[in-house]
Amino acid sequence: METLLPLMVGTLFAVGLYFILHRHLFKVILGLILFSLATNLFLFVVGGITRGSSAIISEEKSTATEPYADPVPQALLLTAVVIGFGIQSFAIVLIRRVYQTFKSNNLDELRKENEAQ
Amino acid sequence: MSSDLLLLLPLLIPLYGALVCLMFWQQEQWQAVMVGLAQIAWMTTIVFLMQRVMAEEVLVTQIGNWPAPFGITLVADIFGALMLLAAAVIGIAVYLFSLQGLDVTRRRFGYYPLLLLLQMGVSGVCLTGDLFNLFVWFEVLLICCFALLSLGGTKGQLEGTLKYVTINFLASGFLLAGVGVMYSLYGALNLAELALMVRQPEHPNLPLLSMASVFFLVGFGIKSAIFPLFFWLPASYHSPPVAISALIAGLVTKVGIYTLIRLFTLIFISDLGFMLPLLAILSGFTMLIGVIGAAAQTDFKKILSFHIISQIGYMLMGLAIYTPLAIAGSVFFIVHNILVKTNLFLISGVVAQRYRTFSLKKLGGVYLHQPVLALLFLLSALSLAGTPPLSGFWGKLMLAKAGLEAGAYTLVGVSLCVSLITLFSMTKIWNEVFWKPKPGNHIPDKDLAPVSLLRLRQLHLPVILLLVVILFIGVYARPLVQLSVRAANGLLHIEKYTETVLSNKTLK
């Protein structure tokens, strides 16, 4: 897992960025979603992954001992997922609206039409 | 008022104001009343906050009474309070402008709640004492920007918003990655605690810290439109109506610069030998490219949009020189620029209310019809360019003096040349919009929008209000300069900040 997850993160970042740079609007949405997945996974991995242990400290101990799952990155992740979800849904609605208004899902054509005006 | 309440109210007033506005959905008269009250209340609390901060340097409160490194901390220092004060002033001005200058449909469909939530986001960014919350508040601010930019859904707006959303989403991803790296390095997110850890003599993982700082530089660099990352700004800022673009153009990029200055004085201080020359190069190019871009434009709002980029360069210049005077110059310049830039956008709005266009080619002869407006524009424009008795001059003077003292002659030279080109650009607007005869003079007043005198006066009101503030900080610059110097000292000597935050004075 320790070696697999960083590779996953890297791949997701690369694919996400590639799609964001695409001129097709649907691929831009996909890119945004993959990019936010990549950052979330990065946050999770970089916070340190532990296996089979919980974030709960037993009653008789005063401090946490190894292995101990750190709850903070998970809390950050949850917040980031929610924020990412909100922005993604906004982006999807926006892109749908763009498609309805311009009758095109090609970014280059939007520009031509705007310049023509 | 207790300091806890004083730190919370700038967040709560806009939040509850927005909630009340949502209850009056589609009844824009009531919403307008509510927002007016909320603006006044916000302004008042911030003035009180400013007073307290001036007396005590740093105010702090721990949310939920959790002690400092674990709980959520709200901190106010002079820099943050100054930002909020400027934001409150333009908040009132933009609100007054929107009463007459924005169409009813946009006002009915959520302009006012979004305005308030945007202000809540700004308060959050300026008051937070926690790295992750900084990210969260920035998202709050941005999502309001997204909605405001696309409000109304015209073709130009949709295209501009699409670019804005995509690039800012990317920037937020970089920020989050940076936050993750910081947490993995130090196991802390509290800014004060991070500042202490970074300053320990042999703290580990220096290369990784530099990497995190680059994440933040890129993230906030995109949001504040510094040199290689600014292309989204002229593509999106000119598209929405003036009541929206004035607020966003005046405020949001400066909040990005605010966070950059905050983080690079507080946390990312260990690799300055590499970072400062980089920042100097970036700031030089930001100034230059912005102003050259503006020279090529023939649209009132687009020229102003490009000038935002160029002015961002000045703010970055102070950070790049990194002496107390230079950072004070940056602080002064940010406050000055928030006011002046908003005012210029509002003036373009007043012109467009009557002539229904922003194109320099179609405009002309405004001086003949509205000499007062022409005078207001002239003063604001000269202030932006930095003509001596006006506010822009003092900011540039501080920056140039600090630059000469630090030996950054090229940077100072560039900044002075850019000032000159700014003046040229402003003269261009003056000539084209106000001075030259209106093209196609044979159809006089026919294509003018019917604007009643009363409405025109009401549109002038926010412009005059802002200009009074600008003239005040220009002619009587001493208090603001002193405050900026104190703010810069607070930024560079962090002992007071960290002590107050980590002293853990929780409520009994």
Reduced to 3 states (helix: H, G, I; strand: E, B; else coil), residue B457 is helix
Q: What mean pLDDT is reported for chain B?
A: 88
| Residue A58 scores a pLDDT above 80 | no
Q: Which of A43, A72, A94 sits opposite B161 (nearest CB)?
A: A94
C-beta of residue B77 within 8 angstroms of C-beta of residue B57 = yes
DSSP B312-366: HHHHHHHHHH-SHHHHHHHHHHHHHHHHHHHHHHHHHHHHHHHH---BTTT---H
Nearest residue in B to A16, CA atom: B170
With residue B59 as reference, give the H or E element that holds it.
strand B59-63
Within a domain: B367: yes
Nearest to B496 by CA among B260, B195, B230: B195
- Could you read off the pLDDT of B110-165 as tens digits, one per residue? 899 999 999 999 999 999 989 999 999 999 999 999 999 998 888 888 888 988 99
Q: Which of A16-25, B237-246, B362-371, B487-496 has the lowest mean pLDDT?
A: B362-371
Domain coordinates of chain A in residue numbers? 4-54+68-116
Within a domain: B198: yes
Q: How far apart are CA A116 and CA B395, in angstroms?
A: 41
- Domain region containing B486: 3-502
C-beta of residue A27 within 8 angstroms of C-beta of residue A2 = no
Q: Which of A49-63, B5-19, B276-290 has the lowest mean pLDDT?
A: A49-63
pLDDT value at residue B344: 93
| A61/B171: higher pLDDT | B171
What confidence category does residue B508 fall into, taking pLDDT thresholds of 50, 70 and 90? Answer: very low
Q: How far apart are CA B302 and CA B51, in angstroms?
A: 38
CB-based burial, B274-291: b 16+ in 10 Å, e otherwise: ebbeebbebbbbbbbbbb
Name the percent of chain B lying above pLDDT 70. 96
For B254-321, give the secondary structure using H, E and C: HHHHHHHHHHHHHCCCCCHHHHHHHHHHHHHHHHHHHHHHHHCCCEHHHHHHHHHHHHHHHHHHHHHH
Q: Which of B139, B155, B181 sits opposite A83 (nearest CB)?
A: B139
| Residue B451 scores a pLDDT above 80 | no
C-beta of residue B48 within 8 angstroms of C-beta of residue B80 = no
C-beta of residue B93 within 8 angstroms of C-beta of residue B343 = yes
Q: How far apart are CA B133 and CA B130, in angstroms?
A: 5
What confidence category does residue B48 fall into, taking pLDDT thresholds of 50, 70 and 90? Answer: very high
- Could you read off the pLDDT of B6-46 as tens digits, one per residue? 899 999 999 999 999 988 887 888 989 999 999 999 999 99
- Give the residue-averaged pLDDT of A5-22: 92
Determine whether B452 is exposed, middle or buried from the number of CB atoms within 10 Å of its CB (0-12, 13-18, 19+): exposed
- Could you read off the pLDDT of B83-97 as tens digits, one per residue? 999 999 999 999 999
Beta bridge partners of B73: B62
Contact B180 A98 (CB under 8 A): no
Nearest to B72 by CA among B192, B186, B180: B192
Q: How far apart are CA B474 and CA B89, in angstroms?
A: 16
pTM above 0.90, yes or no: yes
| A71/B248: higher pLDDT | B248
| Residue B442 scores a pLDDT above 60 | no
Q: How far apart are CA B499 and CA B508, in angstroms?
A: 19
Nearest to B294 by CA among B284, B282, B302: B302
| B236/A58: higher pLDDT | B236
What interface predicted TM-score (ipTM) does this complex get?
0.91
The answer, for B66 touching chain A at a CB cutoff of 8 Å, is: no
What confidence category does residue B218 fall into, taking pLDDT thresholds of 50, 70 and 90? Answer: very high
| Residue B207 scores a pLDDT above 90 | no
The answer, for A47 touching chain B at a CB cutoff of 8 Å, is: yes
C-beta of residue B126 within 8 angstroms of C-beta of residue B82 = no
∠ CA(B384), CA(B119), CA(B11), 5° rounding? Answer: 135
- Could you read off the pLDDT of B354-394 as tens digits, one per residue? 787 888 888 877 888 888 889 999 999 999 988 888 888 99
| Residue B76 scores a pLDDT above 50 | yes
**Matching residue, tokens 């709640």:** B113
Q: Considering only CB atoms, which chain B residues are within 8 Å of A27?
A: none
- Give the residue-averaged pLDDT of B199-224: 85
Q: Considering only CB atoms, which chain B residues are within 8 Å of A86?
A: 143
- Could you read off the pLDDT of A74-112 as tens digits, one per residue? 889 999 999 999 999 999 999 999 888 888 878 777 777
Within a domain: B507: no
Q: How far apart are CA B276 and CA B320, in angstroms?
A: 5
| Residue B180 scores a pLDDT above 50 | yes
pLDDT value at residue B464: 93
Determine whether B383 is exposed, middle or buried from the number of CB atoms within 10 Å of its CB (0-12, 13-18, 19+): buried
Tokens of A5: 């997850």
The answer, for A22 touching chain B at a CB cutoff of 8 Å, is: no
Tokens of B113: 């709640």
Number of domains in chain B: 1
pLDDT value at residue A116: 61
| Residue B281 scores a pLDDT above 90 | yes
The answer, for A87 touching chain B at a CB cutoff of 8 Å, is: yes
- Give the residue-averaged pLDDT of B296-322: 91
Q: How far apart are CA B114 and CA B26, in angstroms?
A: 14
CA distance, residue A33 to nearest chain B CA (Å): 10
pLDDT value at residue B447: 56
At the top level of CATH, the class of A4-54+68-116 is mainly alpha
CA distance, residue B197 to nearest chain A CA (Å): 18
Q: Which of B147, B169, B176 sits opposite A80 (nearest CB)?
A: B176
**Which one-letter DSSP state was computed for residue B228?**
G
pLDDT value at residue A18: 94
